[in-house]
Structure 1
């Protein structure tokens, strides 16, 4: 119970910081994104130490691309940039929270036991459902592009795929968390692994006129 409380309090604090920087935008959001990208790359390099230069290059792109996507969405998407950015956050957070609580409460069938034994198929569907509900509600409330109603559950699957990808890296490296800077959550990479694909895919949706 104490661990769960720590996780919740820490999670709320991170959400408030992200929302505050997103709403203010400009320099403040750029600094937050740059700091997060730097921390992600640092933790990535700790995980893949000794794996070869291609892993270092991959880690650089892994941190850079979603950072550029988030900044573009916020500042280059016209009047609905903030709403679209918050949609990406909502889909990612809803996926994570829905998967966590549904998995803990009802999870029985393992999703990928060789990669992440704690994740379940029930948790996956819980995350998809939460993203569809809350992401869809945000679309309807803000007037974003209707295709996002269909993209929310798909992006939720991508978010959980990002989570599994990072879990596979950690399992290969023999570490439990990417870091310990975030109480109850591990490292920055642990917390943002789902946002990486969602940010890039949301950017793509905006460029294609789907948002």
Structure 2
């Protein structure tokens, strides 16, 4: 099988498992989140080998806080599963929309020194996809109206998380954070945007803004 086929099959499988466990919630979801956070931190630690200890400490909290946020969203919000899916939809739409628009219309480099393949057109495409799909999901599920408009800004947040990880990898001289996921690289590579979006929405729930 070619790389695109492997990537597609692995992506569908990961989405299916994630949604099934998120639906169940409780301990199964907590274990999945803990496993993902541990994997990200392990990959983070490999990337920052030889850097100062602040990177190891900072990485611990960079992985811990989004994990807590995801659990808080699922278990402490009245429509926890629906809001959790909103977070997933926005993050995935950012990736898919960004890839599609970037491949077909990408001309203007977004951050060539960090990630040469990222374009402004891709970012705009990701914002459009996240805004439309996130808004549609929030509306159909009766979520807080603020979420009708938060998709696009969260797409920017997700892209920032992606660029942050890309900057780390460029400094370390590595292409992927790991090899655990067939066709996708490492767990950190797949969750870099979700870490930021989950933190932002978890904070909004904690503060009572949603």
TM-score interval for Structure 1 and Structure 2 normalised by the shorter chain: over 0.9
Question: Which 5+ residue runs of structure 1 have no aligned equivalent?
Answer: none
- Give 1:105 shift: 1.4
Classify the secondary structure of the residue corresponding to 2:185. coil
1:57 matched residue in structure 2: 57
Classify the secondary structure of the residue corresponding to 2:118. strand
Structure 1 residue 185 corresponds to structure 2 residue 184 = yes
* CA distance in 2 between partners of 1:170 and 1:92 (Å): 21
* CA distance in 1 between partners of 2:170 and 2:14 (Å): 26
1:51-104 deviation line (CA, Å, top 9, x unaligned): 0110000110011000000000000112x0111111001100110111011111
- Superposition CA RMSD, Å: 1.1
1:205 matched residue in structure 2: 204
- Give 1:198 shift: 0.2
* CA distance in 1 between partners of 2:86 and 2:51 (Å): 36
Classify the secondary structure of the residue corresponding to 1:182. coil
1:146 matched residue in structure 2: 145
2:87 matched residue in structure 1: 88
* TM-score with structure 2 setting the length: 0.97
* CA distance in 1 between partners of 2:43 and 2:182 (Å): 16
* CA distance in 2 between partners of 1:87 and 1:111 (Å): 26
1:41 matched residue in structure 2: 41
* TM-score with structure 1 setting the length: 0.97
